[in-house]
Amino acid sequence: MPNIFKNETSLYLQQHADNPVDWHPWSEQAFALAEQTNKAILLSIGYSSCHWCHVMAQESFEDKETAELINEHFIAIKVDREERPDIDNIYQNTHQLLNMQAGGWPLTVFLCPETKSPFFSGTYFPKEERFNRPAFKTVLIELAEFYLQNRDKIRASATTIQQQLSNLNKQPRVDSIPNHIDLQKQAIHNLLAQFDSQHGGFSGAPKFPMPNLLLNFFNLSINDLNAEKALLFTLIKMQQGGILDQLGGGFFRYSTDNAWQIPHFEKMLYDNAQLLSVYALAFQKFKKNEFKHLVTRIIGWLKNKMLSDNGSFFASIDADTNHMEGETYVWNIDEIKNILTADEFTIFTKIYGLDNPANFEGKWHLCQQTSQPLSETEQITIDNAQNKLLQKREARKQPTTDLKIICSWNALTAKSLLQAGYWMQKPHDINLGQTCLDFIHTNLWKNNQLFAIFQSGKEKHPAYLDDYAFLLDALLHSLAASWRDQDFIFLQKIADKLISDFYDHEHAGFFFTAHHHESLIARTKPLQDGVTPSGNGVATLALLRTGHLTGNTTYIDAASETLKYSFESIQKNPEYYFHLTQALKELQKPPLQALITGSNEQLIVWKKQSVAQQQSNQFLFFIPTNSQHYPNYLSIDTNSQHVLAYVCQGTHCEQPTSNINSLLEKLL
């Protein structure tokens, strides 16, 4: 019989609706049932586009014999990590405490129902013993017996686990932040020591793009040629590799090899949003046309595959088609020959190495094999060939798209579109980003409360730290890209809620969950950037910038205290704390900020000239004189015939100037 997931809106939970496992959603009823039946909890966490989640589902959760073991000995709970990152965050942390190594998905955790604390944790378990992992049925049998025979020991260990989680939040807070410490230089030094000079990036396989590591290479106070070369080399290698969909655009989640060639084929909105930011900044910094072209291709993929009718963006695209990973994307040689002309096939073979052995299970996944520049004629031929193959590929069965709208990921995407539109001066991309923010404002902001998920026409789950922090950051970029009064008002509401609902007024820092959130076994304060930015890092940096824009020192004080709280962690490995490190730098030496007022026609002229001179960490806000809401320290003269530029650093502003050359000199 189908379980109750038939009625869930989460695609991931729906994918398990026909399992013979008697799944339950995360609920107090499930934990109460476990206590009543004297069973442990089997908690399985994953997401809809995850390849190894599908593998474990097919091998174990769809297997009747395995399901009988689960149903007999456990109460099984399934969680969509994209809807409940709070639960995922806690049990990923406990997995690391129990196993002394990072977790991943699927995450498989066995809990004591009375305490919700884990007594065993793993990730993927195969049906039969392989990959140096025990068979899942063996794990189930042994843990069921262990739970019945060691209840007192398990309950006692719960206190230890909770104390260890609590200790993760305890930082030796400094009374004052030392001056003149350039942690970004140390971050670059540490990253260059890990740099893969053959393929780019900073690790071996599996190799993730890690946009937050790459961001360390921007905004350097000195010109570091080694850092610049490492950044350029990595960006080019990723652009040429199979981690980028060479036909359709958009990056896959990570590469299974050192050389960025063969990916796991899921495509995540948050990866592409951040990489769009990185390549837009790279274009701004290096003015290379190949980066401009890639920015355009990522935006094209977002519009073609991820954009909903309401202006928001979907969460992800599955790795699998027909239960086969990458089936939609790979080719056999005869298929390509039949689609292309002889000339097209010759050049395509040269670029993509089709005369080499097949690189993915007897087929070809397209990766550029040469970096030699193409002639204009060759480029036209390659473009035609790519379009033909993409048209053929689109006729195949496509992987499933998870249609959930995630607030934090949409905020990341909106920010990236706004950055790209700003630096490349493309109003359409700015409009695309602001339309996304308007969707969030209209559909996920209800009664002074932000929600994390929009699906099936309604909001779900109170928002988390990342939702508020990423949205605050996106609203700042929206105001810089194209000032709107409603964004300025919304910016301050989000900043106020961020502090009132998430800030730890006793010790500083921001909790991942709000003060009124459901009680879990711990509240965490994530500081370190990972595959997505740290909520604390983005909140601190965005609040600091919001304080400088609005003149509200409450925001600056919260940012400053959070930096004191996190400083000891930052200085150990600053490369993993880019956003906090950037906030520290801007607190000690605020970058230039200019608020420029004038008519819309005048501002267009000033904007065009100043953006060409502007540094990536500088903020320029072009405020039309007909605006009704703007920083209260500005006295906008609506009858003025001149543009006025207020140049500020931190909370100090100079007398306004109406001379554009004066502003341009200060931007250098």
Asked if residues 400 and 317 have their Cβ atoms less than 8 Å apart, the reply is yes
How confident is the model at residue 461, as a pLDDT?
97
Give the mean model confidence (pLDDT) for residues 37-64.
96
Average pLDDT score over the chain: 94
* Two tokens, residue 583: 């906030």
How confident is the model at residue 378, as a pLDDT?
87
Asked if residues 76 and 44 have their Cβ atoms less than 8 Å apart, the reply is yes
One-letter amino acid at 583 equals A
- For residue 595, give the H/E element and its range: strand 592-598
How far is C-alpha 82 from the chain's CA centre?
11
Asked if residues 487 and 478 have their Cβ atoms less than 8 Å apart, the reply is yes
Question: 510 has which bridge partners?
Answer: 503
The string of pLDDT tens digits covering residues 299-314 is 999 999 999 999 999 9
Q: Tell which residue, 256, 413, 317, 399, has the closest CA to residue 47.
A: 317
Q: Is residue 163 very low, low, confident or very high in pLDDT (cuts 50, 70, 90)? A: confident
Looking up tokens 């890990």 gives 194
The string of pLDDT tens digits covering residues 206-228 is 999 999 999 999 875 445 778 99
Helix (H, G, I), strand (E, B) or coil at 208: coil
Say which DSSP state 82 is in. Answer: T
**Sequence-ordered list of residues with C-beta below 8 angstroms from that of 403, at least 6 positions apart, any chain:** 11, 308, 314, 315, 455
Question: 46 has which bridge partners?
Answer: 80
Instruction: Kindly report the three-state secondary structure assignment for every residue of 42-62.
Output: EEEEECCCCHHHHHHHHHHHC
* Two tokens, residue 358: 């097949």
* Two tokens, residue 570: 């930052």
Dihedral sign, Cα of residue 57, residue 60, residue 64, residue 67: negative
How far is C-alpha 80 from the chain's CA centre?
16
Q: Among residues of the chain, what percentage have pLDDT more than 90? A: 85
Q: Is residue 1 very low, low, confident or very high in pLDDT (cuts 50, 70, 90)? A: very low
Residue 174 has pLDDT above 70, yes or no: yes
Give the mean model confidence (pLDDT) for residues 334-354.
95
Q: Tell which residue, 352, 366, 368, 360, has the closest CA to residue 324.
A: 360
How far is C-alpha 453 from the chain's CA centre?
15
How confident is the model at residue 178, as a pLDDT?
78
Asked if residues 56 and 128 have their Cβ atoms less than 8 Å apart, the reply is no
Q: Is residue 379 very low, low, confident or very high in pLDDT (cuts 50, 70, 90)? A: confident
Q: What is the largest CA-CA distance in the chain?
A: 84
One-letter amino acid at 324 equals M
Looking up tokens 């001379």 gives 659
Q: Is residue 167 very low, low, confident or very high in pLDDT (cuts 50, 70, 90)? A: confident
CA distances from 574 to 187, 190, 374, 525, 585 (A): 5, 9, 40, 17, 12
Q: Tell which residue, 404, 513, 387, 492, has the closest CA to residue 448.
A: 492
Asked if residues 119 and 91 have their Cβ atoms less than 8 Å apart, the reply is no
Q: Are strands 592-598 and 619-624 parallel, antiparallel or unpaired?
A: parallel
How confident is the model at residue 510, as a pLDDT?
98
Q: Is residue 540 very low, low, confident or very high in pLDDT (cuts 50, 70, 90)? A: very high
Domain ranges of the chain: 4-167, 329-396, 464-589, 592-667
Give the mean model confidence (pLDDT) for residues 372-376.
80
**Superfamily (CATH) of domain 4-167:** Glutaredoxin (3.40.30.10)
Residue 259 has pLDDT above 80, yes or no: yes
Q: Tell which residue, 26, 19, 82, has the closest CA to residue 50.
A: 82
| Phi–psi pair at 405, nearest 5 degrees | -105, 115
The string of pLDDT tens digits covering residues 186-210 is 999 999 999 999 999 998 899 999 9
Tell me the helix, strand and coil percentages in the chain, rounded to 5: 50, 15, 35
Helix (H, G, I), strand (E, B) or coil at 452: strand
Q: Tell which residue, 99, 7, 91, 93, has the closest CA to residue 42.
A: 91
How confident is the model at residue 155, as a pLDDT?
86
What gap in Å lies between CA 372 and CA 351, rounded to an integer? 9
Is-cis flag, bond preceding 106, omega within 30?
yes
Q: Give pTM, 2 decimals.
A: 0.96
What gap in Å lies between CA 234 and CA 227, rounded to an integer? 11
- Taking the CA of residue 561 as centre, how many other CA atoms within 13 Å lie in the half-sphere pointing to its CB? 15
Q: Are strands 74-80 and 23-24 parallel, antiparallel or unpaired?
A: parallel
Q: Tell which residue, 78, 90, 77, has the closest CA to residue 40.
A: 77
* Two tokens, residue 606: 């000033």
| Phi–psi pair at 548, nearest 5 degrees | -65, -35
The string of pLDDT tens digits covering residues 22-35 is 999 999 999 999 99
* Two tokens, residue 656: 């306004």
CB atoms under 10 Å from CB of 554, counted, come to 14
How confident is the model at residue 281, as a pLDDT?
95
One-letter amino acid at 220 equals L
Say which DSSP state 130 is in. Answer: B
How confident is the model at residue 571, as a pLDDT?
92
Give the mean model confidence (pLDDT) for residues 466-489.
98
DSSP-H helix ranges across 254-332: 269-286, 289-301
Q: Is residue 427 very low, low, confident or very high in pLDDT (cuts 50, 70, 90)? A: very high
Asked if residues 535 and 466 have their Cβ atoms less than 8 Å apart, the reply is yes
Q: Is residue 3 very low, low, confident or very high in pLDDT (cuts 50, 70, 90)? A: low
* Geometric angle at alpha carbon 444, from 92 and 431, rounded to 5°: 105
